[in-house]
Amino acid sequence: MKKSLNDSLREEFNNILNSADIKERISTQELDLAIIIGAFDKLLAGERFLEATDDDLEKTRTEFENYILNTLKTKQYQNDN
């Protein structure tokens, strides 16, 4: 069965995340893997057409940024309570 572009991108992204160098960076910098994966999924969910307009790209960028910010705020709130 032929893989979709998103499937191929997810596979490559997972390969990158599983590399020793990236695992070390995530650990050393105390990054949250769930946020990284969730943000990547937001990027994949955005408009990915050759005809994508600047507005489409801006919308995807905004959703990506909002996902990260909202997730961090929620985690901070949960940790404070």
Residue 12 has pLDDT above 60, yes or no: yes
Q: What is the pLDDT of residues 17-52, one digit of tens each?
A: 999 999 999 999 999 999 999 999 888 887 665 577
Q: What is the pTM of this model?
A: 0.71
Q: Mean pLDDT over all residues of the chain?
A: 86
pLDDT digits (tens, 9 = 90+) for 43-54: 888 766 557 788
What is the total count of domains within the chain? 1
Q: Which residues contact 45 (CB under 8 A, 6 or more apart)?
A: 60, 63
| Residue 76 tokens, joined | 């901070």
pLDDT of residue 17: 94
What residues make up the domain containing 51?
5-80
Tokens (6 digits) for 29: 């910098």
pLDDT at 49: 57
